[in-house]
Structure 1
Amino acid sequence: MPVIVNGVELSDADLERELPLHAEASNPMRHAVTALVLRRVLLDEAGRQGLDASDEEGAIGALLASQAPAPQADEQACRRFYQMHPERFMVGELVEADHILFQVTPGVNLDMLKAHADVVLADLLADPSRFAEVAREQSNCPSAAVGGSLGQLGRGDTVPEFERAVFALPSGGILPQVLQTRHGLHIVRVTRRVEGRLLPYEHVAQQIGTALTSMSRDTAWRQYTKLLVERAKIQGIDLDDGEPERVFSGSSA
């Protein structure tokens, strides 16, 4: 069924150009079509506002700048962000960590795997000295060969959910619950910590201001685009409530 936006049908050629930009999405085809819908809606509104739509990128940029302006982050907002997220501005902070990975593979019974990991964790909490031995026997990670050791880890070296867990643990501590990440289920311990130092606010103020302003701009753009979608006449696809916001943030518009 063709997708028609305000009377204009999306072409196969447009879809072929857009699709590679969404190869990493969970549903690349739907993301690509949604991105094209949003682009069409923005271009239609740009034309209605009297902007020159022959330069599509310029027209969309001018429309968003005039209709969805975002304020610059002020000093108070920047200092508040700095105070609320000191971990983001630490340098030199390191942990030495070990883990046991129970990999989630296609067809695995996740409940049974989790139950098994819980039993293994309970045994290790009772006798931490067996951690390396159990890692060699059970871990599905190459680090099993070295007793589960991941060596030294800094901020940004692992996926966020793993990082949050290991940097919150004290030296010698085992996480008291099984950690689930995109890679599977983990039993985690930290063997050593190197405390970092907090960068002075003055060294990161510009970086914070740029990031907060960008976040504010993206929010304003998504909200405005969502409003235009609600007003548009769209046939051939039903967009769920949050879909325009999710796709717009990664689209070419």
Structure 2
Amino acid sequence: MKKLLLLTAFLFLMLTGSPVKAEIIDRVVASIGDNAITYFDVEKEGGALFKQIISSTPPEEQEARLKDAREKALNNLLEKVLLLRAARKAAIDVTDDEVKAAIENIKKENKINEQELLSALKKEGVSFERYKEEVKGQIIRSKVIDKKVRRVIEVSDEEVMIYYERNKNDFATDEEISARHILFLIPKDADEERVNEIRKRAEEVLQKARAGEDFESLAKKYSEGPSASNGGDLGFFKREDMVKEFSRAVFPLKENEISGLILTPFGYHIVQLRERRGGAALPFDEISKKIKARLYSEELNRGIKEFIEELKEEEHVEIRL
């Protein structure tokens, strides 16, 4: 139920169950105006991550990683409180119907019914009322972002074109080539003398190929690979489809060019590149919407960070963690 965390409710509500003392739990670690954030709030916020760190990190590294994780959890809480305070100032609220609609959407996204949602919440030790409150908070914060940040963001067609021209390689289709090869297998237990014999035989066949003999026929006659019966035909493949030694030597070849001997963990290869496709940038018209969405997302993230910083300057924020 990955999307059940669509509004990240569980992460915000899970408890760590740590046996810390009451005075530590109640200790105020940050304040924003009349809002106080306690150590316990931080433990709730980062509970799932803290558990993961404790279970997967060597003991000598846990303290440093938990410190970083707690700071991130505290920053998340500060942002929540700042946005909620901004919502109150802007008279932004959420109706019960909006909360209900959001929860219905969560169930739809996850293809679960009411009972399955309640069971999942119960398993995490979260009441439905508490879950609704968290959903409500998320919606309020989203509304603040919509009003204060999202609505003022614009990405022009000119910006999209400039980004396309500067980053064409990011929008290129994967380059593929087709090739034939002749493989001379080297047994794992082969000694130096045996390897030299195999290399000598491979060099003799390479000379035949470069002298103009039909490569497909040579592959059928000499190759020890599974593609021998097909004249060594490998079809189309990408760089990552082959071992790095093979791809590094083959992809720079021109069409119909024959390689030298290529040594890989399998043995010696002789390769003839047949055809090349892809590798060119997609047309602007095909990719412009994707670029615009990327630029918008970047602007939105930047705008949110700037807005949070503005709120921090406006409010009296004190951190004691």
Shorter chain as denominator, the TM-score bin is 0.3 to 0.5
> Structure 1 length as normaliser, TM-score?
0.45
Larger Cα-atom Rg:
2
